[in-house]
């Protein structure tokens, strides 16, 4: 299919540019510059111009996304796409009439410059799809996948605010005291993963054995990705449906390269190694958690300054850098409050988010006790306890 060749050509050009620029002076051209170059290339090459411009632009956008993933440390550097191996393209800006059902099992999709293409339905096409990806699998079958992001979850209207502390040892600690762990590989899967990695290192380049080992590794990675995605979907839906306001640390400010959670207490060697191993994977999970939460609870997610969330006592508001007894325990030396360090941080985030939300007139009232659903505007004179008087920086 021409679209695949075009998308691959554009992608490979972008890979080549990145490779050339790596040793060079400035950064490689970004998407905007590449889009301009694409316009020029289309003027020059008739076969490229004969293709769909949206397919080609999308390949550039996909590449920009892949590079962003690489720089964030969550993905490998994007590599060459080969004919026969990487066949596929993505189409965006789908109009409502561009997908139609022809029978119970068959439907058609409008592909620019190709016309109507028939495909078999394996599941219903969701309403309001805007984009799709066409791919060919290893056995030569073509697949079409429609992208669909579930819409926002209505606010419960209960005035509750949640603070979420994302961390390495505990994936997400909630101000309610819940400690959530993002699923990983099982012990058996992890063993198999390491075994396969060793096999891969020994396998000759280009050998059939190497390809088989790679496939097995990719299957394990895909399984892990699916499991994590599923966890993120469930967790964000529960938060969006259970709380009017959800506070998160603004991780753009927080340096993830600092020692895990900024505790000065000596973490055990195993902990440090594990944290290092998990950090890159978790970083992507944290990003996705925030992104999906913002989709599901638009205008209800408050990002707070993470400066002192781990040092401040959530009970008395005193900042105490030495209150961290260990990785897991926060013991305030002023009010003798003791608790899980991550939950303490989550409660600080909750209090800051409440204060922010009250300032921005997002419905946020006094905590969990007023669980009666109500949709009135918050009373202007009634600020949640602790808000505005805590001495914590509010942004």
For Zn ion, the binding residues (CB under 5 A) are 313, 315-316, 332, 334-335, 337
Q: What is the C-alpha separation between 15 and 318, in angstroms, rounded? A: 52
**Torsion-angle region of 361 (φ positive above 0: left; ψ -120 to 50: alpha; else: beta):** left
By beta-carbon proximity to Zn ion, the closer residue of 281 and 315 is: 315
Q: Write the Ramachandran bin of 73: left for phi over 0, alpha for psi from -120 to 50, otherwise beta.
A: left
Tokens of 45: 């090459």
Burial 189-213 (b: 16+ CB within 10 A, else e): eeeebeebeebeeebeeeeeebeeb
Is residue 342 annotated as part of the catalytic site, yes or no? Answer: yes
Q: Residue 105: helix, strand or coil by DSSP? A: coil
Q: Which is nearer to Zn ion, 39 or 334 (CB)?
A: 334
Q: Which of 249, 250, 366, 377 is catalytic?
A: 249
Q: How far apart (Å, rounded) are the C-alpha atoms in residues 333 and 318?
A: 9
Q: How far is the CB of 16 from Zn ion (least distance, A)?
A: 58
325 counts as catalytic: no
First CA to last CA across the chain, in angstroms?
A: 52
Which of 62, 87, 244, 342 is the catalytic position? Answer: 342
Least separation in angstroms between residue 332's CB and Zn ion is: 3
Closest distance of CB 313 from Zn ion, Å:
3
Residue 115 in 3-state DSSP? strand
Q: How far is the CB of 259 from Zn ion (least distance, A)?
A: 24
In angstroms, the CA 43 to CA 39 distance is 6
Is 62 one of the annotated active-site residues of the chain?
no
Burial group, residue 24, by CB count within 10 angstroms (0-12, 13-18, 19+): exposed
CB atoms within 10 A of CB 114: 14
Rounded CA gap, 283 and 288, in Å?
9
Q: By CB neighbour count within 10 A (0-12 exposed, 13-18 middle, 19+ buried), where does 117 fall?
A: middle
Q: State which residue, 69 or 339, has the beta carbon closest to Zn ion.
A: 339
Quote the tokens at residue 66.
């892949």
User: What is the edge-to-edge ordering of all strands in the sheet holding 106-111?
Assistant: 99-101, 106-111, 115-120
Least distance CB 253 / Zn ion (angstroms): 24
Residue 175 CB, shortest distance to Zn ion, in Å, is 16
By beta-carbon proximity to Zn ion, the closer residue of 98 and 337 is 337
The least distance separating Zn ion from the CB of residue 394, rounded to whole angstroms, comes to 19
Q: Looking at beta carbons only, is 162 or 313 nearer to Zn ion?
A: 313
Q: CB-wise, 168 or 352, nearer to Zn ion? A: 352
Please work out, in degrees rounded to the nearest 5, the angle formed at the alpha carbon of residue 81 by the alpha carbons of 77 and 83. 170
Of the candidates 87, 165, 244, 294, the residue annotated as catalytic is: 165
Catalytic center residues: 165, 249, 342
């Amino acid at each position: 299919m021409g679209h695949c060749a075009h998308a691959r050509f554009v992608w490979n050009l972008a890979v080549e540019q990145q490779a050339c620029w790596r040793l060079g002076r400035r950064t490689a051209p970004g998407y905007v510059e590449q889009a301009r170059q694409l316009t020029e290339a289309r003027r020059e090459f008739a076969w490229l111009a004969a293709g769909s411009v949206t397919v080609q632009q999308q390949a550039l956008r996909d590449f920009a996304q892949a590079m962003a993933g690489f720089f964030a440390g969550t993905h490998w550097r994007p590599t060459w796409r080969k004919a026969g191996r990487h066949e596929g393209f993505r189409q965006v800006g789908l109009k409502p009439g561009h997908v139609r059902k022809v029978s119970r099992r068959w439907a058609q999709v409008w592909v620019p410059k190709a016309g109507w293409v028939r495909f078999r339905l394996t599941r219903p096409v969701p309403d309001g799809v805007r984009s799709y990806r066409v791919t060919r699998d290893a056995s030569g079958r073509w697949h079409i996948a429609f992208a669909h992001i579930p819409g926002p979850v209505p606010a419960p209207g209960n005035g509750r605010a949640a603070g979420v502390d994302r961390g390495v040892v505990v994936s997400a600690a909630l101000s309610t005291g819940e400690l959530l762990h993002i699923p990983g590989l099982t012990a058996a899967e992890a063993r198999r993963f390491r075994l396969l990695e060793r096999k891969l290192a020994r396998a000759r380049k280009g050998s059939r054995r190497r390809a088989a080992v790679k496939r097995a590794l990719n299957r394990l990675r895909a399984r892990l990705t699916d499991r994590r995605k599923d966890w993120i979907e469930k967790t964000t839906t529960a938060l969006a449906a259970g709380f009017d306001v959800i506070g998160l640390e603004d991780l753009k400010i927080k340096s993830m390269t600092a020692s895990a959670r900024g505790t000065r207490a000596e973490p055990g060697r195993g902990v440090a190694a594990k944290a290092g191993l998990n950090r890159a994977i978790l970083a992507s999970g944290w990003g996705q958690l925030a992104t999906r939460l913002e989709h599901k609870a638009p205008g209800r997610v408050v990002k707070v300054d993470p400066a002192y969330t781990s040092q401040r006592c959530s009970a008395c508001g005193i900042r105490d850098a030495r209150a961290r007894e260990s990785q897991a325990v926060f013991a305030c030396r002023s009010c003798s409050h003791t608790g899980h360090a991550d939950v303490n941080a989550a409660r600080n985030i909750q209090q800051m988010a409440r204060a922010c939300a009250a300032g921005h007139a997002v419905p946020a009232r006094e905590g969990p006790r007023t669980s009666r659903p109500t949709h009135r505007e918050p009373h202007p004179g009634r600020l949640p306890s602790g808000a505005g008087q805590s001495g914590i920086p509010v942004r």
